[in-house]
Structure 1
Amino acid sequence: MMPLCYAEKDRPVTVCRISGPSRVKNHLADLGFSPQSQVTVKQEIAGNLIVEVKGCRLALDAGMARHILVQEAGL
């Protein structure tokens, strides 16, 4: 498992766990980040990410991306 901020660009990963306080977990869940969902990093700009989750592209700052723990898809 690794934080989403370390995922390779254009390589799908699977969300394993969301860490942090409940308000962070709830916010990320509202955006579509839940265990077993697939996420793809599309672009990284100064540590901030553009990601695709559930067919939508979203911008995440590096702090939020650290709360999303992922592993390579299919593992």
Structure 2
Amino acid sequence: MESINIHEAKTHLSKIIAKVAEGEGFIIAKAGKPVAKITAYDAPAESEIKRIGFLVGEFKVPDDFDRMGQDEIADLFGV
């Protein structure tokens, strides 16, 4: 999330709002310290965004995954 200072936010408010409406978020900072987070009104909170498990059912991990290529790896290391 991009951080901008208060002066830049006031100067370019229309452009910032247009970007926020497209889904981009911003942090407004005063003297380098974050004071406000600007996101679209209907955007889910970061805590509501689920990343773990988003590919469930999309592929299958082979049962021998942890042993795949073990002979080639052993040959490379001279074991």
Which of the pair is proportionally richer in helix?
2
Bin the TM-score by the shorter chain: under 0.3
Which of the pair is proportionally richer in strand?
1
Greater length-normalized contact order (CA 8 Å, ≥ 6 residues apart): 1
Instruction: Determine which structure has more spread, i.e. the larger CA radius of gyration.
Output: 2
| TM, length-normalised to structure 1 | 0.23
